[in-house]
Amino acid sequence: MKASIQHNNQEYRIDLSKPLDISLSLRGDEVNPVAWYLNAPKIVPVKDGNWTGKVSLGASTNFNNIYFNPHGHSTHTECVGHITPEFHSINDALKTFFFKARLISVEPQKKDRDRVITRAQLEKLFKKGEAEALVIRSLPNSIAKRSQKYSHTNWPYLEEDAAKYIRDCGVDHLLIDLPSVDKEKDEGKLVAHKAFWNYPKNIRSNATITELIYVPSKVEDGLYFLNLQIASFENDASPSKPVLYKIEKDENNNEN
């Protein structure tokens, strides 16, 4: 199913029948990815006396409780309320759901004992005004990311100046395939989060960060339209399902 999208006085064609899902599913087992020193999430049937909410055990319906943390167990989208003493809800921050997006692949550079994504790297791959969403795929890329145990691994992260560059390029929605844009153990400094949201001086309350995505290697770098959907949680973060749609080339549009 083909669709036309008007964006900044230009018309783009996408094929809605060819979604590229870049979210990680949440599973109730040890295969699920885990970060932030948590145990695996649980999906278990409700029990009430002798009754168990599972059809194979005699119930009329499957009726599960789900125990998880959006920051540590799944693809999630967060707002500035993740770092503020005041409550801010992602359900208030994200009110539109289609965005022009650039997908880039970056191999973090070694810096002492860390691996970092730098401003200099981003400047070569992304320019101001290109898109309002930026999707970062870290290299090397492997299907192992779908079940990675991240705790105590010192994962790669964005340097503060890289986050400032993304912000200054006009990006409102940043997506990355790591548990955090910041260093795992940084004494709570959260410099990349703060730089991207311009906290605390002039907070960009409509801006979002999506973490723990997974972009298959077959998906090429380039321009897409992003559909970013969240569950309607009144919380700083919600599980989310970012989906990319390739922009089709035609005689009036050579974006890719």
**Which tens digit of pLDDT belongs to each residue from 100-143?**
999 999 999 999 999 999 999 999 999 999 999 999 999 999 99
pLDDT one-digit tens code per residue, 32-78: 999 999 999 999 999 999 999 999 999 999 999 999 999 999 999 99
In this predicted structure, what is the pLDDT of residue 9?
87
E-state strands within the chain: 2-7, 10-15, 20-21, 42-45, 47-48, 51-52, 64-67, 76-78, 98-106, 109-111, 114-117, 133-138, 157-158, 173-176, 208-211, 222-230, 237-246
198-221 as b/e, with b when 16 or more CB fall inside 10 Å? bbeeebbbebbbbbbbbbeeebee
Residue 171 in any domain: the answer is yes
Residue 23: both structure tokens together: 């979210």
User: Does residue 213 lie within any of the structural domains?
Assistant: yes
Q: Indicate whether 256 pLDDT > 70.
A: no
Q: According to the model, what pLDDT value does residue 1 have?
A: 85
CATH code where residue 209 lies: 3.50.30.50
pLDDT at 230: 98
Task: Domain of residue 217: give its range.
Answer: 2-24+70-246
Q: Which amino acid appears at position 74 of this protein?
A: S
The pLDDT, as a whole number, for residue 179 is 98
Q: Is residue 45 part of a domain?
A: no
pLDDT at residue 10 greater than cutoff 50: yes
Q: Give tens-digit pLDDT for 188-242.
A: 999 999 999 999 999 999 999 999 999 999 999 999 999 999 999 999 999 999 9
Give me 8's structure tokens.
């900044």
Cα gap 78→70, rounded to integer Å: 9
Q: How many domains does the chain have?
A: 1
Provide the β-strand partners of residue 157: 116
| Position 252 pLDDT exceeds 60 | no
Please tell me the distance from the alpha carbon of residue 133 to that of residue 210, in angstroms, as a whole number.
Answer: 10
pLDDT of residue 40: 97
Q: Is residue 17 part of a domain?
A: yes
Looking at residue 89, its pLDDT comes to: 98
Using the structure block, give the residue that is written with the tokens 């401003």: 119
pLDDT, average across residues 136-160:
98
Residue 41 forms part of a structural domain: no
Is residue 123 in a domain? Answer: yes
**pLDDT in the model for residue 58:** 97
Q: Tokens 């295969």 label which residue?
A: 31
C-alpha pair distances (Å), 27 with each of 32, 74, 210, 229, 247? 5, 9, 19, 19, 31
Asked whether residue 124 is assigned to any structural domain, the reply reads yes
Looking at the predicted structure, is the pLDDT value of residue 251 above 50? no
- Measure Cα distances from 95 to 11, 20, 29, 168, 232 in Å: 22, 22, 33, 22, 11
